[in-house]
Amino acid sequence: MKERYAKYRTRSAAGGCRSGVATTSASRAAARGIKIPGNAVVLTFNNQFAVRLLAARVAAGIEAPMAIYVTESAAGRSSVSYKKPSSSQAPYADGALGDELDALFAAVVGDAVGP
């Protein structure tokens, strides 16, 4: 899981995004003596897209940092999942911005989970 997370952060930066961990339930559980598979919600932000999103509608700012969920199975394999940006952007902006972000996220996540 740590390797997948590191790879995602590297690919995210290469795609012009900034990422940071929002929360990790596994580390909080471990502090309480409970072992659960690793997981992390990673907020990913791209200023160029955020500015365009805010220009379309200020209320859309809540969607500017987009969440990626990195999880680890009991067998130790990791996966990355996310909502398509076009679905979170739909109420606020035209489809073109969402489509561009879908392509960016697919490339970044694809590179992170690839070989």
The CATH number of residue 10's host domain is: 3.30.310.70
pLDDT at 14: 58
pLDDT at 100: 86
What is the rounded CA–CA span in Å between residue 39 and residue 24? 6
**By the 8 A CB rule, do 54 and 64 touch?**
yes
pLDDT at 9: 62
pLDDT in tens, 2-15: 666 566 566 566 56
pLDDT in tens, 47-78: 888 888 888 888 888 888 888 888 888 787 88
pLDDT: which is higher, 101 or 17: 101
- pLDDT grade for 20, boundaries at 50, 70 and 90: low
Query: How many domains does the chain fold into?
Result: 1
- Measured CA to CA in angstroms, residue 19 lies from 36, 73, 94, 96 at distances of 24, 23, 25, 23
Q: Which domain holds residue 30?
A: 2-113
